[in-house]
Amino acid sequence: MDISVIGVPMDLGANRRGVDMGPSAIRYAGLDEELDANGHDCTDTGDLTVPRPEAMTEAPSGDRHAKYLDEMAAVCRRLQASVADTLADGEFPLVLGGDHSIAIGAAGGAARERSIGVVWFDAHGDFNTPATTLSGNVHGMSLAALLGRGEFADAEWAVAPSIDPSNVVLVGTRSLDDREREALHESDVSVFTMYDIDERGAPAVVDEALEIATEDTDGIHVSLDMDVLDPDEAPGVGTPVRGGVTYREAHSAMEAVADRLDSVRSMEVVEVNPVLDKHNRTAELAVELVASALGKQIL
């Protein structure tokens, strides 16, 4: 594959600083070398410019219900264009975050002029809206924004009309707010919790998730939030939740993605926070998982 790496050092959607260094940490962990070693042609396009809160000369946009909305909208628009251009050039967009709000731009760009499904590996639902959020952090609203829920219905920078909720699948979920849980029950989004993985195993769950996401679509976007893993495996994340997937479950999930690689249009890996990490373990694991998703095999 011809892979174009796009860094988005965004931390405006989270409440813990440090995740903006995620793209650098993943690169330092040997991403280019790993992809090259597995036969891919990898080009790193550098980082998109993201406003820094400490450098803002004017009051940030948004309010306590949705912080930094205008600033994030500008970044996501640029990311949408970058992802769409990458695909138009026949290359595979691999986006490095940054917090999970960047998925609005990454998946939105992949959905331009194409009907796509989304497989969302995450401990959380990211299905809050400004009306339901407890934190005001948009990284907990990114999936709701893509689907135009609540106050995001008129947010043209966020909504991806070509993504049908019936082709969106959450995998590894284990931490939901009450109103978020209700919203997911009422939606057409499919949710596979850690209970499902415990009962059926990661490969079977991910296979079904991919079946749902690819049905009557032109491809899928894979969103990998590193907090889907158990904190013992991935300590360098801002919102860790105990009881996540194991090292081997994560690899088997990505290997299931690789089995459908001809359907994967784009991918992002997010929420690596080196400030909270131990010896860059989480970034190194992110590199391993990306390699597995893009076809690395043991034998």
The catalytic residues are: 100, 122, 124, 126, 139, 225, 227, 271
Give CA–CA dist 238/236, Å, rounded: 7
The 3-class secondary structure across 148-162, one letter per residue, is CCHHHHHCCCCCCCC
CB-count exposure of residue 19 (10 Å: 0-12, 13-18, 19+): buried
Give CA–CA dist 12/246, Å, rounded: 29
If DSSP codes are grouped into helix, strand and coil, which group holds residue 194?
helix
CB-count exposure of residue 298 (10 Å: 0-12, 13-18, 19+): exposed
Q: Give the count of alpha carbons within 13 A of 98, CB side only.
A: 33
117: β partners: 220
Beta-sheet pairing, 66-67 with 62-63: antiparallel
Instruction: Give the CA radius of gyration of the chain.
Output: 17
Pair 228, 171: CB distance under 8 Å: yes
| 242 DSSP 8-state letter | S
Give CA–CA dist 225/139, Å, rounded: 11
Tokens representing residue 220 in the block: 């899928």
How many CB atoms within 10 Å of residue 41?
A: 12
Give CA–CA dist 132/130, Å, rounded: 6
